[in-house]
Structure 1
Amino acid sequence: MHASPLTVRPFQRHDVTDMLRLMRGLAIFEGYIDKFGVTEADLVEHGLGETPRFGVLIAELCGRTVGIAVHYVIPWTYDLKPTLVLKELFVEETARSSGAGAALIAALKRYAARIGAPRINWTVLASNDAAKRFYRREGGSHDAIWEPWTMPVEDVPGGCEG
């Protein structure tokens, strides 16, 4: 029996260059590359340091890194259980029909179950119908109750100035 050409595993220091390449690919795809500021040093410091701020699953196809699932955990919410948040899921275009995305989602589900998280939350670019179809096939659904909102934080004065 030979090994599958598709594997998923947690990222390690030697993955940082490929991870940054894929994150930049997502930034180009979603149209924010001009604001993209992540460096390899940032990934090492914040993802592989003593207290990582995020985790990453790496999808490899025949030994080549083709996909990432960047995630973090909200330690507890209304039900006193953690929520796993999928921040970025990206599979390079040449590997989109390889099963890498589904394998990343399956690995995320296993991780969520292992940490006791009853749910995985994420956002989808409104115009990305292909992603919406993919997530539905994987068991996801649009949250009809909650809407995503955002608020820029600009020079907010601090203290009790009067």
Structure 2
Amino acid sequence: LKYLRSLKEYKIFSGNQMVSINDLFTGIHHFKLLKGIPDECKKLFSYLLLRKISNFLKSKESISINPTDHEKFRILVFIDEAQFLLESKAKKIVEKITAEDRKFGLSLILASQSIGNFDEKILKNISTKLLMFPGTQREVGKYKKIFGVSETLFKTLNRKEGYYIFDNQYPIKRVEL
């Protein structure tokens, strides 16, 4: 309850433009949680927004078996610095979304500096993975352990290069951004 009061105090829900849940499914919306707002308030806002999107999608029918691209993707949610959410109680909603909400049209992109920020439960439910240049030998070891990918492959990467794994299919594809 104290965090709900804090959300009001920091005026997260104020501004010139209101966005309803229906509005989220048309156009592009960017929610930038500004500095100066306590982390717990940011996590609560993120959790509430993700839960609202998830519940709204579940009130719709699930996606048909052979959908068109337009039917398949109802909403794309991009979470940068995902470790921020994954180290809190909000992790549960991310786990739930990755496990259940694709069939309702939610596409989720989680970005983080380290693969170690994602637990096995989340990774097994994400069909597409982009493993970028590992900054440390420790990260290379995590790639090998989690994905069974040879350390040699990652040692040959340059910055802005990585490997793409689609639907857990191998061989993986080398990519350059």
Bigger RCO (CA 8 Å, 6+ sep): 1
Q: Normalising by structure 2, report the TM-score.
A: 0.29
Larger Rg: 2
- Between Structure 1 and Structure 2, which shows a larger proportion of strand residues? 1
Q: Normalising by structure 1, report the TM-score.
A: 0.31
- Between Structure 1 and Structure 2, which shows a larger proportion of helix residues? 2
